Amino acid sequence: MSETLLSVRDLRVAFPTRQGVFEAVRGVSFDLGRERLGVVGESGSGKSMTGRAILGLVRPPGKVTADRLTLDGQSILNLPERKMRAIRGSHISMVMQDPKFSLNPVVKIGDQIMEAYRLHAGRGSGNARDKALEMLAAVQIRDPERVMDAYPHEVSGGMGQRIMIAMMLAPDPEILIADEPTSALDVSVRTEVLNIMDRLVRDRGMGLIFISHDLNLVAQFCDRVLIMYAGRIVETIEAKNLHNARHPYTQGLLNSLPRLDQPVKHLPVLERQDSWRDAPLIDESMETELPGGL
């Protein structure tokens, strides 16, 4: 792997609930280089929470702990909000799972993108409007002029998702955490949006954490994949080998996909095993001795 941008060891996120403390993330460890790292796993397995914890966005009473959480060698664990905001503005961006929810509903889309751009490039930095139009066109928005003047409720689900991607890429981040960034896109627009992210990784050396339910897509688009179950990483594997995954959970996920060429009446579903919660990590490379894997 290329040089390490982000290093995470034994990351945990816990919430007090009526039934006692609930650990949404239970000891996650990995390093991110200048690569496309896929994160897959079932609903509720802690994918989004891992991303939020890295960015300091877990709201109290949630608690984040880790043996290590470093960006370019500097610890970013539980930094004061002011410092964290500076990091979020310029070093790490996150495209949230629900884009329209993260946009300000009463501010025009164009104004929000221009603001994101100015924050990074400084006031009076050229023509923010042109830059914003350019970014909307890059994410395949058909009529960028209209969308600049629209409010978030006036755009479709997939347009909201692309607007959010344009905004998060405006500050030219070192690391992008993209949480289901293409789940509302039709396949042809999706390809264009993925190409943008791909170029940023290849040409500018960005690190990408790509959270997705789409196993086929992750297998084709990413370099490596982390598979999460119940708050832990249960398997790590080269993306191109995903279809030969060894963990029964990963295999179960793969089997439950509907296929155009093989119609069935009922789809196979996962038979979850309690033992998966704490079983040791299956690491393809088997080089690591770190619990939680790399």
The interface with another protein within residues 24-63 (CB under 8 A) comprises: 40-45, 48-49, 59
Give me the residue label for tokens 């923010």: 128
Closest CA to 1 of 244, 191, 168, 236: 236
Q: How far is the CB of 204 from ligand ATP (least distance, A)?
A: 27
**One character per residue 81-100, x = contact with ligand ATP (rule: CB under 6 A):** ----------------x---
Binding partner at 16 among Mg ion, ligand ATP, another protein, none, C-beta below 5 to 8 Å by kind: none
Candidates 45-53, 80-88, 133-141, 271-279: pick the segment binding ligand ATP (CB under 6 A). Answer: 45-53
Of 87, 29, 31, nearest in space to 55 by CA = 87
152 binds ligand ATP (CB under 6 A): no
Any contact of residue 277 with ligand ATP (CB under 6 A)?
no
Q: Minimal CB distance to ligand ATP: which residue? A: 158
Decide if 249 contacts 202 (C-beta within 8 A). no
Interface residues for another protein in 55-114 (CB under 8 A)?
A: 59, 97-98, 100-101
**SS3 track for 108-177:** CHHHHHHHHHHHHHCCCCCCHHHHHHHHHHHCCCCCHHHHHCCCHHHCCHHHHHHHHHHHHHCCCCCEEE
List of residues contacting ligand ATP (CB under 6 A): 15, 17, 22, 24, 41, 43-49, 62, 97, 153-159, 184
